[in-house]
Structure 1
Amino acid sequence: MQKTVLNEDHRRSGARMVDFGGWEMPLHYGSQIEEHHAVRRDAGMFDVSHMCVVDITGLDSAAFLRRLIANNIDRLQVAGKALYSAMLNEAGGVIDDLIVYYLDESNYRLVINAGTAAKDLRWMAGRLADWQLAATITQRREGAGALAMIAVQGPNARQKVWQALPDCRSACESLQPFFAARCGDLFIARTGYTGEDGYEITLPAEQASELWTALADTGVQPCGLGARDTLRLEAGMNLYGQDMDENISPLDAGLAWTVDLVAPRDFVGKAALVTRPQQQQFLGLLLKDRGVLRAHQKVVTSQGAGEITSGSFSPTMQQSIALARLPLAAAIGDTVEVAIRDKLLAARVVKPCFVRKGSILV
């Protein structure tokens, strides 16, 4: 398995290590539930160095990204502004979901998923060659210039980052959500994957252990993949490989807001999305009976069949919740049934955002 630069730090902290897409990553440090609550109530940190930072540079960088991704990078006009998007294949399926940061017209930074990084890089290199554009694709996860990433999330996350990095407070204190700023070697973005406020900090790999320790010294709780998954599920955030993949349209995965079909520009997959409009809705489920909702369970509605894509027990709500693809006629407030083992259990259809900034929304 591949290891992040913080692997030994996790082991010294007693983490339970697991295989996550070929990476040895911490599942938890003793209690997944306590880590989940730490993020909702105070501050937690995640090693996300397995994610892959990709720098796109050159005169045709903007032209390349206009054709490569489904969202419109022309919306990025201010240095540090970020945009969430899907990268599609010709059939309109999701190759990956990613964040792109605008640095200037010839300099962009992408963050792509760990398990899809090799595939993504091959795809991007192929499109760049096909279109014969003047741009360079540089991955920053391995080799010279390798970067690490630490996400610090929670209502007190920003204050604790400023304690650990007092010299960077002036650079990042005024950042609005989905903006990033540089502080020396650090690239600090006000983004995250938990539904809480905080920062995602990209920095030279050799500096990661020192920052991890400094954050722990301020009381930030180390958190593993278990808490990360329940937090993102409560926040209604998609997970690649479960909620969407190369066979799923972003329109059916609740990602229509990340697709720009209005602007005259063309992009990979646009023609397929235009000819095959949305087929299903992406909605949330609250289980009304006792049980646990899981991925791939079938959903029975009066309008037709659906399927759960992600499901778990919500530590914040103390209730089982799920994300699901349901028929277009399904409506928020409907009661549906979920096949769990040999039983059909009742669930309520809700807007797919259960918890944000510590508040239960459904």
Structure 2
Amino acid sequence: MTKGFPHWQQTPLYDHHSLLRARIGDVEGWKLPVAYGSQIEEHHTVREDAGMFDMSHMCVVDLHGPDVRMVLGRLLANDIGKLKTPGKALYSCMLNMSGGVIDDLIVYYLAEQHFRAVLNARMAAVDIEWIRAKIVEAKGQVTVVPRRQDWVTEEVEPLAVIAVQGPKAREKVFRAIPAARRAEKLKPFNSTIVHDPEFGELMVARTGKTGEDGFELLLLARHAGRIWEMLRSAGIDPVGHEAWDTLRLEAGVHRNGKDMDHHTSPLDAGLGWSVDLDSDRDFFGKSAVCARRQTQQFVGLALEGSAAVPPAHSTVTDEGGAVIGKVTSATYSPTLRIAIALARVAPEITIGSHVNVQVYRNKIAARVVRTPFVRSGS
């Protein structure tokens, strides 16, 4: 391990970041670039052109077996029955028995006995332990195969993940990797696996968390460096994780551990749309979610005339001074040029209401807005 980073892991692309003199920081326990230069410029690159992120700290997990659909139907709050076409993706929360969010994830249907999930880096170990325990409880025939480098066995190759996002992302990916043109007609939240003669397995998924179009590329880790440089040669600039955070927040995308956690109901986190409460299907945490119901709503806050960013858990008050909620995450928006925040507030607060946010010793006026703040460059 590099001196100064005693417990952090590094991705297959670490040397490429170092050669570019990226500022390396701790991202979910991994040594990853937080910025290569100006965070603001990197942010605008994704909004206006195309940028790429090393997302190899995310944990790809393949699930195989005759009972995989049954098991995922119990593990996921969203309806796995929606996945019928190979390559189709589904966003879902995985809940604990008290109805709190263990993790939010994307799962892909590859074949009837083969699904693929992408887990958040920080929660990977917890998620895998939970999944395996529930498979044992259900006496299901499912094999869980993690594909991240710190989990793989000799029989399985690790995967790296590169996200390419922005209005010009797709055309530049096709220029860099001709085989990826198989994904040209993919609709959002769909994927395809290309068996490229040069790079082997390459999954091209039209997903991402920046509010822009683009792909997430899941590829064999041993080819990650070459593909990274091919993407750079096609005019795709590397972008650090500080810009990823401002982009996802402008897009109103949740971040596990900030906007929800194992104590938070998905209904209070604004994720009710991803929870299947209408069907007879039972899933872990369903009865608890039904019993708790919704006690808060999830909204955006646009801080008026201020670039002061409120810390997480900052108090939100109404115009009369009564506490109505708390900030979950916030940032300065390079696109809007104001501070913005995501917050959980009382359900009676209406969109357009004027509130105040406690930013250290100051109360800053804010307006309650719908999210996303910014999507597709505007």
Q: Which amino acid aligns with 1:89?
A: N
Aligned partner (choices 173, 194, 213) of residue 210 of structure 2: 194
Alpha-carbon distance in structure 1 between the residues aligned to 2:221 and 2:166: 24
Q: Which amino acid aligns with 2:162?
A: I
Q: Which amino acid aligns with 2:40?
A: I
**Given the two structures, how large is their TM-score scaled by the length of structure 2?**
0.93
Alpha-carbon distance in structure 1 between the residues aligned to 2:301 and 2:230: 39
Provide the residue aligned with 2:130 in structure 1: 123
1:143-166 residue CA offsets vs partner (Å, 9 max, x unmatched)? 331000000000000000000011
Alpha-carbon distance in structure 1 between the residues aligned to 2:18 and 2:360: 37
Aligned partner (choices 170, 183, 187) of residue 158 of structure 1: 170
Pairing of 1:1-362 with structure 2 (within 5 A): 1-142=8-149, 143=152, 144-169=156-181, 171-184=182-195, 185-290=201-306, 291-301=308-318, 304-359=323-378
SS at match of 2:24: strand
Alpha-carbon distance in structure 2 between the residues aligned to 1:83 and 1:206: 28
1:12-69 residue CA offsets vs partner (Å, 9 max, x unmatched)? 0110001122211100001111110000000000000000001111000000000001
Alpha-carbon distance in structure 2 between the residues aligned to 1:173 and 1:91: 42
Q: Which amino acid aligns with 1:30?
A: G
- Quick check: 2:305–2:338 contact (8 Å CA) kept in 1? no
SS at match of 1:40: helix
- Structure 1 residue 305 displacement after superposition: 2.1
Alpha-carbon distance in structure 1 between the residues aligned to 2:273 and 2:119: 19
1:125-173 residue CA offsets vs partner (Å, 9 max, x unmatched)? 111111101111110002331000000000000000000011221x100
Alpha-carbon distance in structure 1 between the residues aligned to 2:70 and 2:80: 9
Alpha-carbon distance in structure 2 between the residues aligned to 1:152 and 1:294: 29
SS at match of 1:130: helix
C-alpha spacing 1:168/1:21, structure 2 compared with 1 (3 Å): closer
- Structure 1 residue 340 displacement after superposition: 1.3
SS at match of 1:268: coil
Runs of 4+ in 1 over 3 A off after TM superposition: none
Alpha-carbon distance in structure 2 between the residues aligned to 1:146 and 1:136: 16
1:282-324 residue CA offsets vs partner (Å, 9 max, x unmatched)? 0000001422233211100257420000101000011110000
SS at match of 2:267: helix
Alpha-carbon distance in structure 2 between the residues aligned to 1:355 and 1:40: 9
Provide the residue aligned with 2:5 in structure 1: none
1:312-338 residue CA offsets vs partner (Å, 9 max, x unmatched)? 100001111000000000110000011
- Quick check: 1:86–1:94 contact (8 Å CA) kept in 2? yes
**Given the two structures, how large is their TM-score scaled by the length of structure 1?**
0.97
Alpha-carbon distance in structure 1 between the residues aligned to 2:265 and 2:39: 32
- Quick check: 1:56–1:138 contact (8 Å CA) kept in 2? yes
Q: Which amino acid aligns with 1:162?
A: F
- Quick check: 2:315–2:323 contact (8 Å CA) kept in 1? no
- Quick check: 1:55–1:108 contact (8 Å CA) kept in 2? yes
Cα RMSD of the aligned pairs, angstroms, is: 0.9
Alpha-carbon distance in structure 1 between the residues aligned to 2:28 and 2:118: 17
Alpha-carbon distance in structure 1 between the residues aligned to 2:59 and 2:359: 36
- Quick check: 1:304–1:327 contact (8 Å CA) kept in 2? no
Q: Which amino acid aligns with 2:343?
A: A
Query: Bigger shift: 137-146 or 6-15?
Result: 137-146
Over the matched positions of the two proteins, sequence identity in percent amounts to 51
Alpha-carbon distance in structure 2 between the residues aligned to 1:62 and 1:146: 24
- Quick check: 2:252–2:373 contact (8 Å CA) kept in 1? yes
Unpaired segments of 5 or more residues in structure 2?
Answer: 1-7, 196-200
- Quick check: 1:294–1:322 contact (8 Å CA) kept in 2? no
